[in-house]
Amino acid sequence: MICFDAVTKHYGATTALDAVTVQVRSGHVTGLLGPNGAGKSTAMRLLLGLDRPTRGRVTIDGIPYARLPRPLQTVGAHLDARSYHPRRSARAHLLALARYAGIPSRRVDEVIELVGLESVARRRAGSFSLGMGQRLGIAAALLGDPAVLVLDEPMNGLDTDGVRWIRLLLKEFASEGRTVLVSSHLMAEMHQTVDRVIVMGKGRLLADCSTDELVSSVSDVVVLRTPDVAAAPGLTRALDRAGMSVAETSPGELEITGGTPARIGDAAFDEGMRVHSLSVTPATLEEGYLRLVEDAFEFRRADAPSASGGPEGASR
Ligand SMILES: Nc1ncnc2c1ncn2[C@@H]1O[C@H](COP(=O)(O)OP(=O)(O)OP(=O)(O)O)[C@@H](O)[C@H]1O
């Protein structure tokens, strides 16, 4: 388990992290989400001992990264798709890392196979595409067969196959009881990959919950189609009384939020309306995330006494 305990990080006048306390649990793929500048990379760097917190502590199973006896065998990290020597081959790069960490060289061939780089392993890494660089970075992260995996935007540059591959890899990793922390701006992909989310905004923790909880904070949209256009105003009033919100998007087509198809279908029946279709568009992680971030910052704008101070807001 990774623990951030009241972690603050200042860079001059910028507060990159503001008293963040959160845990990243084992056995889950946790998405670290937030707008640009939210503090995601800073959190990862502090976790990996690449920078020091101004206040607070970050630990991995109770130990700060710098004091881990075998760091590469404990935490595998991939922060940058181009973090290799361009003239070295992929295999030579991994061999050098393995030698440094006391990892047997046969593990290098294992991870090369695991990430699908066998055919290019002896090519200079400088000639790699962004996607191949991502695979090499992930190979390096997996080298020590670590219990914790930390990946910053690992899906960038990967093709559809590659994205699917990494999704399955991370899920399998977590199903073995390991800890996975992954950041990405690709919300549709995150929705399919992560089962927990940590959402940051302007250095603060906005949410720490399951993906399902965040998604269910926004409603599914139900679209009703009817040939009985004249009955639409009556149904709209009935649904409105029942606490749903309705928009007539075209004659005979209503877009309804806050209700289930069963409740809407029953209400239409009571109004004597024939219904030709009721289709549900499920809420997405992107919508839940956007609602959370927008609410957090609107709330602060309205209540903040000054630009530097504001209420704790939407942490939950
Ligand atoms: N080395 C640094 N020196 C000065 N300011 C920094 C440094 N690193 C980060 N910051 C600032 O800290 C804040 C958080 O940056 P960070 O890179 O952690 O955000 P992020 O959530 O990873 O953003 P992105 O999604 O754009 O990668 C930003 O305002 C950034 O400008």
309 burial type by CB count under 10 A (0-12 exposed, 13-18 middle, 19+ buried): exposed
For residue 222, the model assigns a pLDDT of 96
For residue 131, the model assigns a pLDDT of: 83
ipTM of the complex model: 0.97
Burial class (CB in 10 A: 0-12, 13-18, 19+), 13: exposed
Query: For residue 166, which of 127, 192, 129 has the smallest C-alpha distance?
Result: 192
Average pLDDT over residues 205-215: 95
Distance, in Å, from the CA atom of 54 to the CA atom of 113, rounded to the nearest integer, reads 41
Ligand 1, from 32, 40, 190: best to mutate by most atoms within 8 Å of Cβ?
Answer: 40
E strands in the chain:
2-11, 14-24, 29-33, 55-60, 75-78, 148-152, 179-183, 196-201, 204-210, 221-225, 245-250, 253-257, 277-281
Please, what is the Cα angle at 182 between 99 and 89, to 5 degrees?
35
Please work out, in degrees rounded to the nearest 5, the angle formed at the alpha carbon of residue 128 by the alpha carbons of 126 and 134: 110
Predicted pLDDT at 311: 32
Three-class secondary structure of residue 91 per DSSP = helix
Q: Which domains, from first to last, does the chain contain? A: 2-215 (3.40.50.300), 221-281 (3.30.70.100)
For the CA of 9, the nearest atom of ligand 1: 12
Per-residue pLDDT band at 312 (split at 50, 70, 90)? very low
Residue 225: what residue type? Answer: R
Mutate to test the pocket of ligand 1, among 4, 11, 20 (most ligand atoms within 8 A of CB): 11
Mean pLDDT (whole number) for 41-56: 96
Task: Give the C-alpha separation, 209 to 313, whole Å.
Answer: 16
Residue 85 confidence (pLDDT): 76
pLDDT at 316: 34
Mean pLDDT of 71-80: 90
pLDDT at 81 exceeding the cut of 80:
no
Residue 303 or 51, more confident = 51
Report the Cα 106 to chain-centroid distance in Å.
Answer: 33
Residue 180 · residue 29 · CB < 8 Å:
yes
pLDDT of 307 over the 50 cut: no
The tens digit of pLDDT for each residue in 86-99 reads: 778 889 999 999 99
C-alpha angle 108-47-210 in degrees, rounded to nearest 5: 95
Q: What is the pLDDT of residues 223-275, one digit of tens each?
A: 999 999 999 999 999 999 999 999 999 999 999 999 999 999 999 999 999 99
Q: What's the gap in Å between 44 CA and the centre of ligand 1? A: 11
Q: How far is the CA of 91 from the centre of ligand 1 (A)?
A: 32
Measure CA 149 to chain center.
Answer: 14
Measure 308 CA to ligand 1 centroid, in angstroms: 17
Q: Is 41 in the pocket of ligand 1 (CB under 6 A)?
A: yes
Instruction: Tell me the pLDDT band of 301, cut-offs 50, 70 and 90.
Output: low
Range of weakest confidence among 99-103, 201-205, 270-274:
99-103
Q: Residue 98: count other Cβ atoms within 10 Å of its Cβ.
A: 20
